[in-house]
Structure 1
Amino acid sequence: MATPFVKSSNAKVYDELDFTDRRDFEDSNKGFICTVDGGIIDQYSQSSKKCFDVHQTDYLEQKCPETVHPALWRQEQLVRMHGLYEIIPNKVYQFRGFDIANMSFIRGEKGWIIIDTLCCNESAATGLKLLREKVANLPVTCIILTHSHGDHIHGMDGVIEDDTLVIVPKDLFKLTISEALLAGVAMERRAVYMFGHNLERNEKGWVGCGLGTTSSTGQLSTFNPKHLNEICEDQTLTIDGVEIDFMYTPNAEAPTEMMMYFPQLKAVCTAEEINRTQHNLYTPRGAQARNGKDWAKYIDNIIAKYADKLDYSFGSHNWPTWGNKNIVEYYEKQRDLYKYIHDQTLRQANLGTTINELPEKVILPKSLSSVFYNRGYYGTVSHNSRAEYQYYLGFYDGNPANLNPLTPIKLGEKYVEAIGGEEKCVALAKDSFESGEYQWAITLLNHVVFKNPKNLEARKLLAEVYRQSGYMQESAVWRNIYLTGALELEEDKSKIVYVRSSTSSTYFLLKLPFNYLFDYLAVCMEPTAVEAINEVFNVTFVDTKESGSLLLKNSVLNNREHTDKHPTTQISCTKEELVKFVVKKTDRKTFEKEINVKIEGNKENFFCFIESTHVPSPTFPIIEP
């Protein structure tokens, strides 16, 4: 049940927004052709396991409950609409609602041009199969991947053919790996919170992620296309008879990305730069902050070049927009959303406003906040403004008191002691909770839990405050974070499901280039175990024909892409043999017996180095010490 404070907070939203406006529902359903029979896509490897099931969100068909923010409920109703849709008659189609992202199809002279391929091969293959059955059974002449995030590229093998041309923005495959490489384990643990992986699918738990519903889960692509073309700058190409203006937009929503204009169709594919939500200038799962000014500039470039030549707009997420006036207004307000947050954050910073004061100072004007597509279902003004501060000024707010803070455990101990003990702290928090001061109650209880994680009364009350805080969040991301915090405070640790880190898998490590692999192992190395070592290792992988040198000195591992002229030790083996040794799937004795393994020099120091690397698992605690 929602508290009276939550009910009141959520009820106010009906006065802020026009919920009688049904145009988004009409647009989201426009051009509907059909959907997947039964609404379920099965995994290739296990037919009993579902790749995607639209019925997991059937409860969204009901009236908005008191435990969900009304605008978020509306958004999730929209993004769950599923099936094959016609956007431009006989020309452009989309497969939506069976993944967090969209897959788009452009009809060329000889076949289909596919834009983005979803999260896995099964979902992508299903979308193409539906298109061929209902529209035209044509070959796939081209696949265009808009940017370097997995929900747009991992299904490529499900639709690619021998002669298919693949077009990507510069360094897409490399950046797909590198963006989440070195801090990937931490990102994946935090993603459990951000996307609510462990929450029950109902009105008191997970309702979506704001940008879409959820990701499909299945077989991932190998990324080895025969025919590849990289877009490194703005350029125009004709692909299968279709003219495409590619607009290169790096370092906004993704490290590498591109939008497209189709002159013959008077249509823009916005990739993930323009969406039916406020996006993240900082993603709470963790990543480098994004620059709102640059993001806005990319959108403005589209407006400047094509404003009078636009009839259709579609993107990598959400539903399309029709009509020149609607499109231009949509683009302008998305542009000004990010520019406003950027500019006003820096204005406030230059006035002396510190990072945690920004959410009370940076308030969107009504002209931007009153349109549904600028609302914070995914990103929020609160964390986006703090992201812009961090982008320019870093974590430190300039106050000496915050230069060398106490650790959470020590701060909890001192805080609770100063207030008069755990019992008094919990009592104060309970009073604050009952009076609607949720942030203060969270502060008090968090200190108690970090002082004494076995205080069950504090854990239970903090879980309830988190839960009620989640119920009034317009951002699905914030909702998921609060509700996951509540879950992990109350749930038996042995029952918590941790997402297995893809960055620690043998498959992932084998895909890494030589320097990426050893960059990763450098952050997995225990420094005290190698502090006496001063070595230069030349390493050759006989199966992948890669080689390079490793410099281990001062408890630091550096790597070079060429072998050293004067190594202290030389190692030759297959990449798979070494990776299995690193992830502890084989031991030293087994490794040494492998037929391809040859070591010349100080093998003890080499084995000391390998055995000092421990690929971590994303199971560390977050809501407690």
Structure 2
Amino acid sequence: MCTFFGAVLLSQSATTFAQEPKPASAATKAANAEVQKTLPFNDKADFENAQRGFIARPETLTVKDAKGNVVWDMEAYKKFIDLDKPAPDTVNPSLWRNAQLNMLYGLFKVTDNIFQVRGYDITNITYVKTDSGWIVFDPLISTETAKAAHELVTKELGERPIKAVVYSHSHVDHYAGIKGIVKQADVDSGKVKIIAPEGFMEHAVSEMILAGNAMSRRAVLMYGAVLPRNAQGSVNAGLGQSNSTGTVTLIPPTEIVSKTGTEITVDGVKMVFQMTPGTEAPAEMNTWFPQWDAMWMAENTTNTMHNILTLRGAEVRDPLIWAKYLNETIALYGNKVQVKFQSHHWPMWGNKEILDYWKKQRDLYKYIHDQSVNLLNKGYTGPEIADMIELPPELNNFWPNRGYYGTLRHNARAVYQRYMGWYDSNPAHLNRLPPEKASKKYVEYMGGSAAIMKRAKADFDKGDYRWVAEALNQLVFAEPNNTAAKNLLADTYEQLGYQAEAGSWRSEYLQAAFELRNGTPSSGGVSSASPDTIRAMSPEMLFDYLAVRLNGPKATGKKIALNINFPDLKKKYALVVENGVLNYFTTPLEKPDATVTIPKTVLDSIQLGESDLDTAVSEGKVKIDGNAESFTLFTGLLDSFPFWFNIVTP
């Protein structure tokens, strides 16, 4: 951990259960059997599409980093998932179907001159053949998986230079493997273009930093980071099998697209861009290839219902805007498109089929928006709306609309949150006690722990898991050392996980069960603060983050005025701590307490833990004029955030 910035760099490690998971209960078996009856499992079109154009795959697929650590392992899933096996009792049959489809990995031809490597990460990497090279779309999460995918393409299709890379949007799984296939020097020299939508850098960096620590910890539950890969653990993540855990990098774009209709030709290949800001990402764009009537949909349509609000946390997305941009896609390209492909899952062919797909994906987000707002205008609250809303059959029974990643329940609540916020106008909820205090009173009112356990066990045996989870959560927060309560709550979460259709919900429940049984983990997460992300932060972004790290109570009553000079950037700033907050200004102060002269590159090194402030000062890399103690006082007011904070226990 570095002292000035407070970033924590973690890697995934295998973790085993100290307590064995339980089998599926009778209630879970019945619930999953009902799913098998109600959905159109005889429809095999997705399996045909997911295998169409297959070229090659390696016999085994395990990717390691330079130290020999496994960062991607399809073999762990291949041990228990294949196309011929029916869903186990412990897996929702619909989720099992999605996992089977995502196991179809390797190199595929999409259409003339367009190829994809799927199953080498949660994201697809796409190669478009130019006159003499490649345009690459979305180079995965990790350099190691991107490099492995590129090696497969080169082996099967021949060695060709990369002419350009397109980042479709600002999420880490769409750009962070870039240095596995492209050298920074080739970008600097102009040999390789990096094309991205307007706002890419701002959102790629800011989302990873300001609330990055909490998001990264919560992502452990969302993706089941430390769960074993088996039928009672991690099955898949909805968008793909899982996230790779290798080296995260970033090369800033050299060309920014800001307007729909912008045309860029790279080595004989014409691309026409459709801007879609505020849909699946705040900075995102689709790409039309007029030569082949092919449409790259980025992540605006995938073969699952997507998130309006991710379980790890993020800004609430706008399903109304999302639907409008999909309508624009239909208007612009609906009468011409012959193949659509995207950054997750498998492509689709045929104008009629694609048009039907686009309309149903559009109407999925429109329905969620319109009906959630309809119900909130009738006075229903978020939890009530989530329990009431149902999709019409024509949307509900369409496989690409099933909730493997986002779900109807949490998306409806997200719409409520977007319009109405956290408060539902019931004054009982206006100033509620925090969970630990409230839970002790609940337990008292409910007759004590013995009475709760007796009733909870009876309801568990009936399969009433949603209520048991709510009741036992009160007992666990009131008595965090009550092992029996934690174990029964873990059993409850486990059955809810076995029934979940969404890979994200399954992971949330099963990871929570793991933590209740074994305690909060100490390894297995991945921090968002990668070296390239930190280096990409502008001074303004850094100061915003330092303001978040400032401990307000400690800073109360203190006044600190500093000038910060970045000689390598030729920029000067002022930082002022006053009234318990940190503000920054682009005009230096005339009479600061101290002036700190520090190259941005040196500050990056300190932030990454490669050096420390005292060493940098002693080596003459950092100069402090004036009252040096004022700067020491300032850094002493900055908190470092613990990654492994408790979630399912107080």
Give the TM-score normalised by the residue count of structure 2. 0.92
User: What is the CA-CA distance between 1:49 and the residue it aligns to?
Assistant: 2.1
User: What is the CA-CA distance between 1:401 and the residue it aligns to?
Assistant: 1.0
Counterparts of 1:538-577 in structure 2, within 5 Å, are 538-575=563-600
User: Which residue in 1 is equivalent to 2:20?
Assistant: none
Counterpart of 2:98, as a letter, is Q
User: Which residue in 1 is equivalent to 2:309?
Assistant: 282
Which residue of 186, 194, 199 corresponds with 2:222? 194
Counterpart of 1:472, as a letter, is Q
Gaps of 5+ in 1: none
Counterparts of 1:103-502 in structure 2, within 5 Å, are 103-160=125-182, 162=186, 163-224=191-252, 228-234=254-260, 235-493=262-520, 496-499=522-525, 501-502=527-528
Q: Please give the alpha-carbon distance, in whole angstroms, between the structure 2 residues aligned to 1:123 and 1:546.
A: 38
Work out whether residues 113 and 140 of structure 1, in 8 Å CA contact, stay in contact via their aligned partners in 2. yes
Q: Please give the alpha-carbon distance, in whole angstroms, between the structure 2 residues aligned to 1:237 and 1:582.
A: 37
Q: Please give the alpha-carbon distance, in whole angstroms, between the structure 2 residues aligned to 1:508 and 1:611.
A: 24
Counterpart of 1:623, as a letter, is V
User: Which residue in 1 is equivalent to 2:540?
Assistant: 515
2:69 matched to 1:49? yes
User: What is the CA-CA distance between 1:398 and the residue it aligns to?
Assistant: 1.1
Which residue of 95, 118, 134 corresponds with 1:72? 95
Q: Please give the alpha-carbon distance, in whole angstroms, between the structure 2 residues aligned to 1:581 and 1:107.
A: 42
Work out whether residues 201 and 252 of structure 2, in 8 Å CA contact, stay in contact via their aligned partners in 1. no
Q: Please give the alpha-carbon distance, in whole angstroms, between the structure 2 residues aligned to 1:216 and 1:562.
A: 43
Work out whether residues 538 and 549 of structure 1, in 8 Å CA contact, stay in contact via their aligned partners in 2. yes
Q: Please give the alpha-carbon distance, in whole angstroms, between the structure 2 residues aligned to 1:168 and 1:253.
A: 15
2:120 matched to 1:95? no
Change (3 A) 1:614 1:594: farther
Change (3 A) 1:246 1:49: same
Answer with 325-334 or 505-514: which moved more.
505-514
Q: Please give the alpha-carbon distance, in whole angstroms, between the structure 2 residues aligned to 1:588 and 1:107.
A: 48
User: Which residue in 1 is equivalent to 2:50?
Assistant: 28
User: What is the CA-CA distance between 1:575 and the residue it aligns to?
Assistant: 4.0
Question: SS in structure 2 opposite 1:38?
Answer: coil
Q: Please give the alpha-carbon distance, in whole angstroms, between the structure 2 residues aligned to 1:584 and 1:422.
A: 47
Q: Please give the alpha-carbon distance, in whole angstroms, between the structure 2 residues aligned to 1:614 and 1:582.
A: 14
Change (3 A) 1:500 1:311: closer
Question: SS in structure 2 opposite 1:405?
Answer: coil
Work out whether residues 501 and 617 of structure 1, in 8 Å CA contact, stay in contact via their aligned partners in 2. no
Work out whether residues 263 and 273 of structure 2, in 8 Å CA contact, stay in contact via their aligned partners in 1. yes
Q: Deviations over 1:308-355 (max 9, x none)?
A: 101101000000001111101111100000000000000000000111
Which residue of 81, 86, 95 corresponds with 1:60? 81
Q: Please give the alpha-carbon distance, in whole angstroms, between the structure 2 residues aligned to 1:9 and 1:149.
A: 35
User: Which residue in 1 is equivalent to 2:6?
Assistant: none
**Which structure ranks higher in relative contact order (CA pairs < 8 Å, sequence separation ≥ 6)?**
2
Q: Please give the alpha-carbon distance, in whole angstroms, between the structure 2 residues aligned to 1:527 and 1:345.
A: 38
Q: Please give the alpha-carbon distance, in whole angstroms, between the structure 2 residues aligned to 1:362 and 1:492.
A: 36
Question: SS in structure 2 opposite 1:334?
Answer: helix
Give the TM-score normalised by the residue count of structure 1. 0.95
Change (3 A) 1:320 1:508: closer
Change (3 A) 1:538 1:2: same
Q: Deviations over 1:431-461 (max 9, x none)?
A: 1111121111111111111111001110110
Work out whether residues 222 and 312 of structure 2, in 8 Å CA contact, stay in contact via their aligned partners in 1. yes
User: Which residue in 1 is equivalent to 2:4?
Assistant: none
Q: Deviations over 1:511-557 (max 9, x none)?
A: 42111112111111222332232232101134554431111101100
Answer with 333-342 or 241-250: which moved more.
241-250
Question: SS in structure 2 opposite 1:600?
Answer: strand
RMSD: 1.9
Work out whether residues 582 and 613 of structure 1, in 8 Å CA contact, stay in contact via their aligned partners in 2. no
User: What is the CA-CA distance between 1:561 and the residue it aligns to?
Assistant: 3.3
Question: SS in structure 2 opposite 1:520?
Answer: helix
Q: Please give the alpha-carbon distance, in whole angstroms, between the structure 1 residues aligned to 2:447 and 2:153.
A: 67
Counterpart of 2:259, as a letter, is E
Q: Percent identity?
A: 38
Q: Deviations over 1:210-259 (max 9, x none)?
A: 1111122323324156xx11001111222222222100111110110000
User: Which residue in 1 is equivalent to 2:8?
Assistant: none
Q: Deviations over 1:175-194 (max 9, x none)?
A: 11112321111000100000
Counterparts of 1:571-610 in structure 2, within 5 Å, are 571-575=596-600, 578=603, 590=615, 592-610=617-635
Counterpart of 1:612, as a letter, is L
Answer with 165-174 or 522-531: which moved more.
522-531
Work out whether residues 72 and 244 of structure 2, in 8 Å CA contact, stay in contact via their aligned partners in 1. yes
Counterpart of 2:323, as a letter, is A
User: What is the CA-CA distance between 1:496 and the residue it aligns to?
Assistant: 4.5
User: What is the CA-CA distance between 1:110 and the residue it aligns to?
Assistant: 2.2
2:641 matched to 1:616? yes
Work out whether residues 303 and 400 of structure 2, in 8 Å CA contact, stay in contact via their aligned partners in 1. yes
Question: SS in structure 2 opposite 1:275?
Answer: coil
Work out whether residues 250 and 532 of structure 2, in 8 Å CA contact, stay in contact via their aligned partners in 1. no
Q: Please give the alpha-carbon distance, in whole angstroms, between the structure 2 residues aligned to 1:589 and 1:264.
A: 59
Q: Please give the alpha-carbon distance, in whole angstroms, between the structure 2 residues aligned to 1:436 and 1:99.
A: 36
Work out whether residues 144 and 246 of structure 2, in 8 Å CA contact, stay in contact via their aligned partners in 1. yes
Q: Please give the alpha-carbon distance, in whole angstroms, between the structure 2 residues aligned to 1:309 and 1:587.
A: 58
User: Which residue in 2 is equivalent to 1:532?
Assistant: 557
User: Which residue in 2 is equivalent to 1:83?
Assistant: 106
Question: SS in structure 2 opposite 1:378?
Answer: coil
Work out whether residues 194 and 252 of structure 2, in 8 Å CA contact, stay in contact via their aligned partners in 1. no
Alignment length (residue pairs) = 618
Question: SS in structure 2 opposite 1:259?
Answer: strand
Change (3 A) 1:597 1:496: closer
Counterpart of 2:96, as a letter, is W
User: What is the CA-CA distance between 1:577 and the residue it aligns to?
Assistant: 5.2
Counterpart of 2:640, as a letter, is V
Q: Please give the alpha-carbon distance, in whole angstroms, between the structure 1 residues aligned to 2:98 and 2:593.
A: 61
Question: SS in structure 2 opposite 1:327?
Answer: helix
Q: Please give the alpha-carbon distance, in whole angstroms, between the structure 1 residues aligned to 2:335 and 2:603.
A: 58
Question: SS in structure 2 opposite 1:474?
Answer: coil
User: What is the CA-CA distance between 1:136 and the residue it aligns to?
Assistant: 3.4
